[in-house]
Chain A
Amino acid sequence: MTEQDTPIAVGIDLGTTNCALAFATGASDTPQPLQVPQVIAAGEVTPRALLPSFLYFPSDAEFGAGALALPWYPGARDVVGTFARAQGAATPARLVSSAKSWLSYGGVDRRGEILPWDAPDEVPKVSPLQASARYLAHLRAAWDEEHPDHPLDEQDVVLTVPASFDAVARELTTEAATLAGFDEAPRLLEEPQAAMYDWLAQRGNAWRQEVAVGDVILVVDVGGGTTDLSLIAVREVEGELQLERIAVGDHILLGGDNMDLALAHTVRARLEDAGKSIDDWQMRALTHACRAGKEALLSDESEDSYPLAIAGRGSKLIGSTVRTELTAEDVQRVLLDGFFPVVESSARPQVPRRVGLTAIGLPYASDAAMTRHLAAFLGRTADTSDDARTFAHPTAILFNGGVTRSPRVRERICEVLGAWTRAEGGETPRVLEGTDAELAVCRGAAYYAQSRRHGGLRIRGGTAQAHYIGIERAELAVPGIPPRVDAVCVAPFGMEEGTEVELDQVFGLVLGEPVSFQFFGSAGREDDTVGAVVKPSDVTELSPLETTLEGTDGEVVHVKLHARVTEVGTLELSAVEDGSSRRWKLSFNVRVE
């Protein structure tokens, strides 16, 4: 096979706030980011490594013809990327943002055209699925423009998803890729694993000296809008060091953007106390300025304050510019103590994770304290064989995401975690250095694609959640009371790609009629095996599973449920006739009545 024929290893980070693509041509090339052409102002196109995950629908009167043209799409009437974000900041009703969070949120119809959320009727709407597909399609077009002889869907593409994505969100992600024109669904990889791969790639063979058997690596991935936690254990198998992802955290909608906004509100309140008011337009500029200030103050402890100057919107700059500052004390109080407070290892997020869906909207984390979310995660992944430990003790930390570039944030997390582990006789975890916070995920994904083809280290892990189906109990029916339901494990945690399991229970199902099962997931129950029965309240309900069993109407067949992890990493459930090979695929119904 010639160099020309070998597919290029491509990693795509489809992020909540930014997308990026990295690629590596040869077996030993370092993955490089693709510079993605995008509209950055009306009529101006320039390539950037990051494509902000925003889609803006302008009004017909807003821009002249061609103002949003892309090299591959001269007639574009809407816009993705930098300009979408900038324009949408001033006109939020026309902006689609956080499509990825909507994609993983079961409270809405994810195939329904619901975004921009709460937009007036005249604004075109797309589904979370279509919006995600738009970002992927933009990356694909940018790639094909630059590599006309190597179309993207013929390359080895790996697409990253949060580790906390359940089976439904993963399935929808591959569906978005299909919608974006990928004939073959890209392989999925969890983001914290991708960050870990990037670290391994940066370290080369030296990683074997930096971690040892028995190490447990905590990956803390704080993105713009979400936080993802994973634990990766270093084990020895047949004399070789091996990495295995042993636990993943819940989906936490809390990230760097929340911190910038919190700081901006603090500064605004202080300005208002001093009798100066700022409008919404200036508030956005203030949020931007606070981000820069946060980064400066977090990286240099000797600075007491960072000057903020917020211009008015009009052409008069002098006199209308509000001058204030962000102080080190603000950052300490709002950011470190607010988002990373020093808490006990027994602390837990203060508000229950799930409340009734009173107001529809994204389920933002109601407790902003990352350290409490971290305590909850480690607490539920405690090693049950060791009674002395009330939580899993990480021995090393790998940070990813913009916020974690700050040494003070890193120090705080290490300090809190170190106090917990030392209290139980452990060591303070050390920090694994050397990844790039912005591009680690897509680069790591490309490295993974590369090492799959050319042979290289793999992180083992399998499925990140255990999945359950709801089965009604066979009891006397009581009028007015719905029958009680048991959640039965149909696919345990850690199933590897290409494996299939079968649930022993046999169901009698009528052909020709739609059937539906309740479907549940849990990231915290690593020990349940196939057939294990749990209370539905202990797991999280996902979208129902549906199928219509085609065949002779009225015939009753006895089926068993099978769960298979596909090669790309999605979970596939099917009903298989007992004693024959007839098979019906069950699909997720993400429409919400």
Chain B
Amino acid sequence: MEPLDFVSRVILAVIAPWRVLFDGRYAASVKGIDEPPKALPEPTKPKEPEIKPTEEERDLTPALQLLAILQREGRLIDFLQEDLAGASDGDIGAAARVVHDGCKKGIADYLDLAQIRAEEEGDKVELEAGFDAARIKVTGNVVGDPPFKGTLAHHGWVVDKIRLPDLAEGHDPSIVAPAEVEL
């Protein structure tokens, strides 16, 4: 439907109310003008909306479990929740050793971490056509098609295997560190 020009619209605006009043057929044709015009194609209904799980519905147990392990082994949450302003680098460094030693052990116990690229960072690398863009992110002068030649900026990390402990029934994983009371 072509839109009307402005002059025609003015004329129509003036006569239409009168015709509605005195011409029953016309009035019938205009009825429903404030409703969406039926002539317009029905907007494509969104297909069965994918029910995106809300945060509550997703099972976050493994995430909490990993957090609990990093806290238990390496006091990670204690460390991150502290205010570093005013602390000396020496004190921070001492605490960081605790966190580093423990978290490293925690990760080694439950995750098999591997480098995505075996080359040294800074080495020249060549990416063949069809390289996995999820595993390798290209940046900088990205023009044309692969093969690409570039320099390895970060070797990447991938978790080959994760084997978290089995949890007992009724175990509340949101308690990442229970309060401790010495009797």
Contact = CB atoms under 8 A, between A and B. Distances in A.
Interface stretch (B5-13, B14-22, B88-96, B148-156): B88-96
Interface in A102-153: none
Interface string A26-51: 00000000000100111111100000
Contact of B82 (A46, A281, A310, A317): A317
A307 interface: yes
Contacts of B101: 289, 292, 309
Given A41-B165, A307-B97, A309-B97, A317 B79 contact: yes
A43 B98 contact: no
A42 B72 CA distance: 12
B121 interface: no
Contacts of A43: 167-168, 170-171
A43 to B, nearest CB: 3
B45 to A, nearest CB: 47
Contacts of A44: 65, 165-168, 171
A315 interface: yes
Contacts of A315: 78, 81
A311 B168 contact: no
A1 B78 CA distance: 60
Interface-central residue, A40, A313, A323, by most chain B CB under 10 Å: A323
A319 B87 contact: yes
Contact of A313 (B82, B94, B180): B180
Contacts of B68: 41
In the complex, which of the residues A40, A64, A318 has the most CB atoms of chain B within 10 Å of its own CB atom? A318
A312 to B, nearest CB: 10
Interface string A74-109: 100000000000000000000000000000000000
B70 to A, nearest CB: 12
B92 A45 contact: no
Contact of B98 (A68, A71, A292, A321): A321
Contacts of B84: 318
Contact of B95 (A42, A68, A309, A313): A309
A316 interface: yes
Contacts of B95: 309, 311, 317-318, 321
Contacts of A586: none
Nearest to B71: A315
Given A46-B165, A46-B166, A321-B91, A316 B180 contact: no
A66 interface: yes
B67 interface: no
B103 interface: no
A311 B75 contact: yes
A316 B97 contact: no
Contacts of B170: 43, 64-66
A307 B94 CA distance: 9
Interface in B136-183: 163-171, 178, 180, 182
Nearest to A319: B91
A67 interface: yes
A291 to B, nearest CB: 12
A66 B172 CA distance: 11
B168 A318 contact: no
A460 B170 CA distance: 54
Q: Which of A43, A281, A317, A319 has the most CB of B within 10 A?
A: A317
B87 A69 contact: no
Nearest to B178: A42
Interface in A275-294: 281, 289, 292
28 contacts: A40-B165, A41-B68, A41-B165, A42-B171, A42-B178, A43-B167, A43-B168, A44-B65, A44-B165, A44-B167, A45-B165, A46-B164, A65-B170, A66-B168, A66-B169, A67-B171, A71-B166, A309-B98, A309-B101, A313-B180, A316-B78, A317-B79, A317-B95, A318-B91, A318-B92, A318-B94, A321-B97, A323-B94
Interface of B: 65, 68, 72, 75, 78-79, 81-82, 84, 87, 90-95, 97-99, 101, 110, 163-171, 178, 180, 182
Interface of A: 37, 40-46, 64-69, 71, 74, 281, 289, 292, 307, 309-311, 313, 315-319, 321-323
List 9 tightest A-B contacts by C-beta distance, closest first.
A43-B171, A44-B165, A309-B97, A46-B165, A323-B94, A317-B95, A43-B168, A321-B94, A66-B168
